[in-house]
A and B are shown apart, each in its own frame.
Chain A
C-alpha cells in the first residue's frame, strides 16, 4: 500500500511498496514480451521457457521491463486509491540495487497535484462599466476611413510630386557604375511618404515633374536585408512618367450607392448602419472587458500554490500549439519567432507567464463553480455538443467519440460560472 505525504508547492510524495509476487508477475510480463526473439541452443525460437532463459542469460535482463510494469501498476493504483488529481509526470525515485527477484522493494514518486484554492472576494465586485454609446464623431471617423479606402488615384496633369502623391516611374540602380540585381523596375507605383523605399529616396523625388529624369543618390542602410547591398552608396536613374493623387470621394448618396451595401442607399442610412455596427462592436468589447475584469480580479483575490511542474507542462502544451500553428503556415518555430520579433527566451518567458495565468484562471473558476454549486444540465451539454458539431462541421455521433463529455461539461460549467461572475458585478 502507498503512503502519502504532502509536500510544499502542491506536491505529493507517494511511498509505494511492490510485493515480491507483483514483481514476479512483472518478470513474467517482461519475459512474455521478449520471448519470441530469444534464441537458445536446443530450443526453437519462441519456445524457450523463462527458467531456461534465466539460467542462460540471467534474470537481470528482465528487470527494466518488469520494473516499468510494476511501477505503472502500483502507481496508477496509488493515485486512484488516494483520489489524487495529478497534473504532472511523476518523478520516480528508486534504488535499482534493492530490486531482486523474489524480494519486495519500495520506491517513491513525487508528483504535482492540483493545488487547493482559497477563494477571496469574487462576486459582487465593483466595476465601472464603460458606456456602450457611440458619439457622432466616432461615426464620422469611421465613415471617413471608409471614404479613404475607396479613394481613387487620378492623374495630376501638371505640378510637382508632393508628399502623399503616388508616382509612376521607371528606375534602375547602380553601385559603382554597375547595375545590380533587383534594382530595376518599370512603371513602378510608389506612394511618397509610405516608406517602402530606402530612406531618402522618396524625399528626393519630391519636386519632380512628370516626364522628368533624375539621378537619385542614396545610401543603403546598414541593416538592409540584402547582404551585398548593406551600407553601399547607390545611384538610381529615375524617369518619372506621371504623378497621381488620391481623390477621396465626397460623402454623397451616390458614393453610398457605389459601396453596394444591401439596403443602404442614402448617407443617413449609412450613418445609421455604421452607428449600429459600432455599437455592436463596443458592446462586445465591453462585455469582454467585464469578463476579463471579473475573472482577473477573482483569480487575483484567490490564493493558491501552483506547482512549478504544472506550469511547465502547461507551457509545453502551449509551445506545441504554437509550433503546430506555425507549421500550418509552413514555418518552423524559429522563423515564426523571427517574424514575430521575439527571441526564444523572451517567447518562453512570455509563455510561462501566460501558462501561469491560464492555470490560475481555470482553477479559480473551477473553485467558484464548486463553491456556488454551478453544474451543467444534461440539455446544456447536449446543446454544447450541437454547437461544436456545427462549428467543426461534423456529425454528432462522430464528435461524441472524439470529444470527452467531461471536457464539454467543464466548458459549459465554466461558461455558466463566468456569466454568474459578470452578472454579479456591481456598477460603481
Chain B
C-alpha cells in the first residue's frame, strides 16, 4: 500500500490537540488493514519525522439513521503516533 493510502487524514479535536501539546503524540485516521509498522513507515515518509511508537485502535461501526433509512458510520482505525522529542508535524501545530 502507498503511504498516502494508509494515512487517511489527521484527526483534529480538542482531545487530539491536547495529546500533541502534552505528549507530542499525533492522531490520524488510518486504513483498517494497515499494521503499526506500516503506519510508522508511512508517517516517517510523509512528514519526514522520527516515529518512536504507534498505537492503533479500531473504532466500531455505529448505527446511524437518516430519516427512515438505517445505515452505519464507517469503521476506521485510529493511530496515535508518538514522535521523537523535537519532531513536529505542521498541520497540527497550534
Which A positions have Cβ atoms within 8 angstroms of B?
A: 41-44, 47, 49-52
Contacts and interface: CB of A to CB of B under 8 A. Distances in A.
Grouping DSSP codes into helix (H, G, I), strand (E, B) and loop, the A interface class, with mixed when no group exceeds half, is loop
Nearest to B93: A51
B14 A51 contact: no
Contacts, number: 18
Grouping DSSP codes into helix (H, G, I), strand (E, B) and loop, the B interface class, with mixed when no group exceeds half, is loop
B93 A42 contact: no
A43 B17 CA distance: 10
Contacts of B11: 42
13 contacts: A42-B11, A42-B12, A42-B13, A42-B16, A43-B14, A47-B14, A49-B17, A50-B94, A51-B93, A51-B94, A52-B12, A52-B17, A52-B94
A41 B11 CA distance: 11
A42 B93 CA distance: 16
Nearest to B13: A42
Contacts of B93: 51
Interface residues of B, number: 8
Interface of B: 11-14, 16-17, 93-94
Contacts of B17: 49, 52
Contacts of A41: 13
Contacts of B14: 42-44, 47
Given A49-B94, A52-B17, 5 more contacts: A41-B13, A42-B11, A43-B13, A43-B14, A50-B94
Across the A-B interface, give the 10 residue pairs with the lowest CB-CB distance, nearest first.
A42-B13, A51-B94, A49-B94, A43-B14, A47-B14, A42-B12, A44-B14, A52-B94, A52-B12, A42-B14
Contacts of B13: 41-43
A151 B17 CA distance: 95
Contacts of B16: 42
Nearest to A49: B94
Nearest to A51: B94
